[in-house]
Structure 1
Amino acid sequence: MNTERSSQLPASASVVFDWFSRPGAMQRLLPPWLPLKVIEEAGSLKDGTAVLGLPGGVLWNAKHQPEGFAENRSFVDQLEPEGVRGLPARVVQWRHEHYFEPAGAQCTTVGDCIQSNMPGRQIESMLAYRHRQLADDFAAHQRAAQAGLKPLVIALTGSSGLVGQALCAFLSTGGHRVVKLVRHEPESASERRWNPLDPDPGLLDGCDAVIHLAGVSIFGRFSQAHRQAILSSRIEPTRSLALLASRSGVRTFISASAIGFYGASAGPHPLDETDSPRAGTPDFLADVVDRWERAANAGDSGMRRVQIRTGIVLSPKGGMLAVLRPVFSAGLGGPLAGGKQMLSWIGLDDLLDIYHRALWDSQLAGPVNAVAPQPVSNAEFTRALARAVRRPAIIPVPAAAPKLLLGAEGSHLLAMADQKIVPRKLLDAGHQFRNERIELELAHSLGSR
């Protein structure tokens, strides 16, 4: 069975082809709802091999076919299972032709033709996602280019996390060089060893910007050990890195933050960047975020600094949505404790765009609320997720349920958080969100129609 799809991009065929040849392209185009993980990208579109991992240790080897390669015009990959771990994939037939046809001076028709015995509906959903991603990523990079952004060398911590992996792929395909700051021995030329408390003086040599994402997950019971891990992974490492960046000629220092700044019980009124940490009821996380942002401002220099106050990040690859999706898919979802508490969310790709904007928008500085313009109640989120997975969500979840997993404080700070946050700085700057409504975000990231 053949399945085809094409769309046009406002760029030359050589520019589009270059995008596909860069590290991160496969990760940017792989639908997040599929149970696949990029293990190795092809070193060459002409004759390289990409390796994907499936559940159970099964490997999907996509070999690029030399006879289907034409510079700036086409390339072909074909499933060719190898070894014992590739045996289950032998029942699948897969040949994917990619073509690029000039459609004007600065316009290219990008096309896909897939020959496979897999269900056509699944392939159509995958291709719809790929072409939407291509269009949105190219639009984001073109906005940055129009604002004057040139290829940068960007040091990035937290590259192994959900946001870090996606951001590395997005920036690399956009033509930037990402230097991953890691705590283990470097395994490639793209990595540098980083001691969070005592960074090497030359760690940031040659870097134009720093994006600092590292920090242990806040999810869990708020024991003394968990509290200390949250603090120790954020405050001093951020201060040390900010001080080093201010002495190293780095022009922009972008650090992760969180809407926890406003408190878990922020109340029914919308809050923006002008509100203080006392806008809601003070709590442990509000204090941590306040200190975290102060640490990001350490050092004296003309370096521009941005703190990205992130809401609940939605992706089936991790975080809250990864936990709730199987529950709702089984028909066991429902509103939590009546569902009145407000949820300030952000799609993963929209979050990447905000970090990207922080690189090119010289007017953006200080705290920036990284949330969608339309927060929703827990009940509204429940209905939207149920529609996206085509299941009922009628089983109410009592407030006591999350306490069993997270304890009283963890339940209050995480599961029962009530925050109505507005991205005022982004709205005032005319920022374009990919998905402003929760229904559109869930449809895109879960592959529903």
Structure 2
Amino acid sequence: MGKSLMFDARSRMPVPASELFSWHAREGAFERLTPPWETTEVLERSGDGIQEGARVVVRIRIGPVAQRWEARHTKYIEGSLFQDEQVSGPFASWVHTHRVWPEPPDSSVLEDEVVYAPPLGAAGRAFGGGMIRRRLERMFAYRHALTREDLRRHAAFAGQGPLTVAVTGATGLVGGALVPFLTTGGHQVRRLVRGRPNAARGDVAWNPAKGELDVAALEGVDAVVHLAGENVAQRWTPQAKETILRSRTDGTRVLCEGLARLQKKPRVLVCLTGIGFYGNRQDEVVTEVSPPGEGFLATVCRAWEAATAPAEEAGIRVVHLRTGVVLDARGGALAKMAPAFRMGGGGPLGSGRQWMSWISLEDVVGLTHFALFTPELRGPVNAVSPQPVRQGDFARTLGRVLSRPAVFPLPAVAVRTLFGEMGQETVLEGAHVRPEAAERQGFHFMLPELESALRFTLGLTTQGPQFTHGPAQVAP
């Protein structure tokens, strides 16, 4: 096999080495560090986390081809090192060593060293070496930036102790990022599930359509995050509108009535609603004190927020996070738009003049966490970037990030024909929404600027870690 190659990434982290290592050892670290542009599915797990002998099998997609990758942890030194090695997969060999060491007085250094051999020997190194190197740079730039920000966010509230947090909608776009964020930070998560609950994991059974909730299983939770609800991105037939409305109001009412009956009530309920509350406001600047607007989404959001009344009346602090367009490569609006832009067919929607108040997925996660620990936040909180854009500017920025033209508009009449009322309210209309409540309480946005947010989630930046490359003498 000859010489293997070595890739090394190093970054300083804002916490002591012990906390940096613990973050990696906790449940959810693998999921948290999987880049959003990678299609990865965990098929099997065995063993104890990252300790020697633990094993994980995943399905990854490299281009159009899905491949199975099995890795085994081969070394573990508490507080300073762990290592995983490919058992089978796309590389001829792969050994990934994670190192942590203190950086006085109270920070640390994270090093990821990968020693690998591409498939097909010399031909693989000659023709695939550059592609592999660029892919590693993208991946570890993302991983180190995310690790640093997660650690910073958790450290800000470390003095308040770990929480037990109940989460609805844990498998959705936001829940899929929030749950591993919380568990890697040392919090315990209880997922509310409609199917059979996993008792060992602490799941809680509920069926909001039938008005059912295992209230006793929620005793002892410190906080609740409510994310569940029917997807609005569908044609709004009368039946679909009824389903959307009931999924939000009935589920919220069942949950809040259950919380109100608890002996020891949670200190806070964070409920994600939407800036659809404000309706179409054209160029008006909207804040949390602005009145509701008109339209179906405004009606849904008003009823949705009103359904939390039983929790508020029981003395629970309730925060309504009114989210804008959530940007992430894994799902939502960006995942739907990106393929057309990559093929050179993207462009403004309708006039392109309508405001698009957006937020990165990581800032939704961060603001949810911030709301759990900030007693001054109560009632409506706009979960949007402080830098909204017009839809045409969004299209041009996405085209620039993907190095593609963005000159093919989709006329308003086509949007209405394809998507009906849903397209009118969610695509052709908008509002210039400001996050005044979050900014007033000092929330720090990780990705406030659109181009940086797009590059981060699409894996199109390598800024951050210190990278080195080169040959490594490794036995074949």
TM exceeding 0.5:
yes
State whether residues 52 and 60 of structure 1, in contact with CA within 8 Å, keep that contact through their aligned partners in structure 2. Answer: yes
State whether residues 259 and 266 of structure 2, in contact with CA within 8 Å, keep that contact through their aligned partners in structure 1. Answer: yes
**Alignment correspondent of 2:12:** 8
State whether residues 15 and 155 of structure 2, in contact with CA within 8 Å, keep that contact through their aligned partners in structure 1. Answer: no
Matching residue's letter, 1:59: R
For normalisation by structure 1, the TM-score amounts to 0.93
Deviation at 1:58, TM superposition (A): 3.0
- In the aligned structure 2, how far is the partner of 1:422 from the partner of 1:303? 26
**Alignment correspondent of 2:21:** 17
- In the aligned structure 1, how far is the partner of 2:58 from the partner of 2:289? 45
Deviation at 1:92, TM superposition (A): 5.1
Cα deviation per residue 1:34-54 (whole Å; 9 max; x = unaligned)? 222344566321221123222
Residue aligned with 1:397, SS = coil
**Alignment correspondent of 2:126:** none
Deviation at 1:79, TM superposition (A): 1.9
- In the aligned structure 1, how far is the partner of 2:343 from the partner of 2:32? 28
Q: Structure 2 regions of 5+ residues with no counterpart?
A: 119-128, 462-476
**Alignment correspondent of 2:196:** 185
From 49, 55, 61, the counterpart of 1:44: 49
Cα deviation per residue 1:10-49 (whole Å; 9 max; x = unaligned)? 3222221111011111121111112223445663212211
- What are the equivalent positions in structure 2 for 1:330-345 lying under 5 Å apart? 330-345=343-358
- What are the equivalent positions in structure 2 for 1:221-300 lying under 5 Å apart? 221-248=235-262, 249-263=265-279, 265-278=280-293, 282-299=294-311, 300=313
State whether residues 23 and 41 of structure 1, in contact with CA within 8 Å, keep that contact through their aligned partners in structure 2. Answer: no
Matching residue's letter, 1:102: P
RMSD (CA atoms): 1.6
State whether residues 337 and 399 of structure 1, in contact with CA within 8 Å, keep that contact through their aligned partners in structure 2. Answer: yes
**Alignment correspondent of 1:84:** none
- In the aligned structure 2, how far is the partner of 1:53 from the partner of 1:232? 37
- What are the equivalent positions in structure 2 for 1:304-343 lying under 5 Å apart? 304-343=317-356
Matched, 1:214 2:214: no
Question: Aligned in 2, Cα 1:40/1:442: closer, same or farther, shift over 3 Å?
Answer: farther
**Alignment correspondent of 1:86:** none
Q: Where is the strand percentage greater, Structure 1 or Structure 2?
A: 2
Q: Structure 1 regions of 5+ residues with no counterpart?
A: 82-88
State whether residues 204 and 214 of structure 2, in contact with CA within 8 Å, keep that contact through their aligned partners in structure 1. Answer: no
Cα deviation per residue 1:279-302 (whole Å; 9 max; x = unaligned)? xxx111100100000101224222
State whether residues 15 and 152 of structure 2, in contact with CA within 8 Å, keep that contact through their aligned partners in structure 1. Answer: no
Higher relative contact order (CA 8 A, sep 6+): 2
Matched, 1:98 2:112: no
From 427, 430, 433, the counterpart of 2:442: 430
Cα deviation per residue 1:127-169 (whole Å; 9 max; x = unaligned)? 1111101111111111122xx4211111110011010111000
- In the aligned structure 2, how far is the partner of 1:339 from the partner of 1:38? 40
Question: Aligned in 2, Cα 1:91/1:404: closer, same or farther, shift over 3 Å?
Answer: farther
Cα deviation per residue 1:29-88 (whole Å; 9 max; x = unaligned)? 1111122234456632122112322246532222111xx32111111112222xxxxxxx
State whether residues 356 and 432 of structure 2, in contact with CA within 8 Å, keep that contact through their aligned partners in structure 1. Answer: yes
**Alignment correspondent of 2:73:** 64
Question: Aligned in 2, Cα 1:210/1:47: closer, same or farther, shift over 3 Å?
Answer: same
State whether residues 210 and 245 of structure 1, in contact with CA within 8 Å, keep that contact through their aligned partners in structure 2. Answer: no
From 189, 198, 207, the counterpart of 2:212: 198
Of 102-111 and 250-259, deviating more is 102-111
**Alignment correspondent of 1:153:** 164
- In the aligned structure 2, how far is the partner of 1:108 from the partner of 1:224? 56
State whether residues 23 and 169 of structure 1, in contact with CA within 8 Å, keep that contact through their aligned partners in structure 2. Answer: yes
Deviation at 1:247, TM superposition (A): 2.7
For normalisation by structure 2, the TM-score amounts to 0.88
Cα deviation per residue 1:294-349 (whole Å; 9 max; x = unaligned)? 10122422211101101000001000000111111111111112311110000000
- In the aligned structure 1, how far is the partner of 2:396 from the partner of 2:94? 36
From 104, 125, 143, the counterpart of 1:130: 143
Question: What is the aligned length?
Answer: 433
State whether residues 36 and 53 of structure 1, in contact with CA within 8 Å, keep that contact through their aligned partners in structure 2. Answer: yes
- In the aligned structure 2, how far is the partner of 1:305 from the partner of 1:92? 53
Deviation at 1:402, TM superposition (A): 2.3
Matched, 1:302 2:315: yes
Identity %: 37
Residue aligned with 1:202, SS = helix
Matched, 1:366 2:379: yes
State whether residues 26 and 49 of structure 2, in contact with CA within 8 Å, keep that contact through their aligned partners in structure 1. Answer: no
Matching residue's letter, 2:161: K
Residue aligned with 2:150, SS = helix
Matched, 1:398 2:438: no
- In the aligned structure 2, how far is the partner of 1:355 from the partner of 1:305? 12
Matched, 1:108 2:108: yes
Matching residue's letter, 2:37: W
